[in-house]
Amino acid sequence: MDDPIQSPYELFFQALSLIPIRHYLYALFLLWTIFFYNFLEFHFLGDTFLHYFKSRVNLIFHPDSPLYHGVVSRCRILHGRYVATPWLASPHLQTCFLNFNGLPPVFSYTRQLFRASDGGTIALDWLTNSDVFYGDLHNQKEITKEDTTPIAVVVPGLTSDSSSAYLKHLAYNTAKSGWNVVISNHRGLGGVSVTSDRFYNAGWTEDIRVVIGYLQQEYPWAPLFAIGTSIGANILVKYLGEEGEKTPLRGAVAICSPWDLLIGDRFICRTLKQKLYDKALTIGLQGYAQLHEPQYTRLANWEGIKKSRSIRDFDNHATCHVGKFETVDTYYRKSSSTQYVGNVAVPLLCISALDDPLCTKEAIPWEECRANKNIVLATTNHGGHLAFFEGLTASSLWWVRATNEFLGALSCSSHMHLQEVQESKSSESGRQDQPSINQGPYINTAEDGLVVAVNYEQNTSTTTPSEEPTQLLNQTGPQHKDTVTKRSFNKLCRQTKGSIWLVGYIGVVTGFPLVGMLINYLFRKKQRLTPSNF
């Protein structure tokens, strides 16, 4: 008797039952790996096989830009490639690793407290060149008024302060490069209480304006530069656009700016991954509001703040009330730095990663940056948000090295922005009604956190430097050039003692040919007599 004909499906399932279970586990693991690779946007395979094509830094600039041809063209890092750390080859892993660890250098800041005329407190955390160069990170020395060392003013990102890992990387490496660094913490951050009814926001430029004005008066011989990160980059670019030629800054760098807050608001709630970031940042903002609950309870909708599920909700219940904005979209529109890009009059380097999970590439003002001769925009395919880890050990951040190289090249060039004396006078007279700041006590912060300082000793009299140092700072005459040259040479001798003998040898060879020939002859004779040559 013939066997009944079996259904094809029965034959199929019978065949499947013959496959060992471990093979199914292998297949499941492979599918999960592919999903995980795509979900977290890993790119180490692309880095491995397409290293030459996908890792180059893309530079956007005006064809006639003096900034590019005179400064950026000499920057090797910006003309090279960025390759992420292999085990962090994902924008999400880079961003998370930076916030949870980041491997920052260990040191302590010197804190300087200021109080604005509206009663608000600004905490400035200093790390000087001498602190790092001489390895004395626990006995900081004050900067003298005649110091000519360039000062880099850093504007942190949203809910970030000087203890953040990326800011420690930036401060330490910039100070190690020969600069003095000061991080201007936002109001209410860095362990300092909010002492007025004003809070910072994405478009609040008054604090950075008053800090820069103070530093210009306090250290008239020190060139001022600024570095903004994330929301701080948006604030910095907006400030530069508002000030135009009036700013005393010689140059600036904007890292991972959100540019257009309206576009960023639409982007951050688009997919599940972005919503997770939105929720995480909202929790951070709620924590910030909780630290200053008395003020927010009186000035904003406290119940709405506690129930916020997104940044937009927080801005609706908190920022709009405190900042007197009609709607959230009005706040985003007025605070976006994109509309100020065309007015930037100082050399500005902008760095952004195209895979930034927080600040989308859709908001980057490509054409506006290309149209402004004072701006160079550098973009990389990877890097995450403020991360850009590189090397097998992820011990350094690429954007920090690129920033230091750019500022070093700019500070040695003739393309720095110089504020005219007349404009400086008019800007000072025009800002008499704006908040002024008084110097407070210095506090050495500990390595494991910042010290809360709430007691202030306000000076009854303020000292305003004469206009003469400002005029001398902007002079280009022979006497001033000689002074700057002597100080620069003395600084070179102090930092590179080993190279002084080389400089002297070159001078002897070029200035006294006969002596140089004799020295060369003696050196060659000595080399012939060494045992290694026998």
Active site members: 230, 356, 385
What whole-number distance in Å separates Cα of residue 277 and Cα of residue 96? 10
- The gap between the terminal CA atoms of the chain, to the nearest Å, is 101
CB 110 within 8 A of CB 126: yes
The token pair at 418 is 């110089």
The DSSP secondary structure of 145-198, one letter per residue, reads TT--S-EEEEE--TT--TTSHHHHHHHHHHHHTT-EEEEEPPTT-SS----SS-
What whole-number distance in Å separates Cα of residue 215 and Cα of residue 207? 12
- Sequence-distant (6+) residues with CB within 8 A of 347 are 67, 71, 250, 251, 252, 374, 410, 415, 416, 417
State the amino acid at position 88 in one-letter form. Answer: L
Alpha helices in 307-433 (DSSP H): 311-314, 320-323, 328-335, 366-371, 398-411, 421-430
What whole-number distance in Å separates Cα of residue 123 and Cα of residue 200? 13
CB 114 within 8 A of CB 124: yes
The DSSP secondary structure of 502-518, one letter per residue, reads HHHHHHHHHH-HHHHHH
The token pair at 184 is 């201007």
Nearest to 73 by CA among 376, 381, 351: 376
CB atoms within 10 A of CB 104: 18
Q: What is the largest CA-CA distance in the chain?
A: 117
What whole-number distance in Å separates Cα of residue 257 and Cα of residue 238? 11
> At 197, phi and psi to the nearest 5?
-95, 15
What whole-number distance in Å separates Cα of residue 243 and Cα of residue 222? 20
CB 110 within 8 A of CB 442: yes
β partners of residue 148: none
State the amino acid at position 22 in one-letter form. Answer: R
State the amino acid at position 241 in one-letter form. Answer: G
- Sequence-distant (6+) residues with CB within 8 A of 443 are 110, 111, 113, 451, 453
CB 318 within 8 A of CB 291: no
What whole-number distance in Å separates Cα of residue 514 and Cα of residue 522? 12
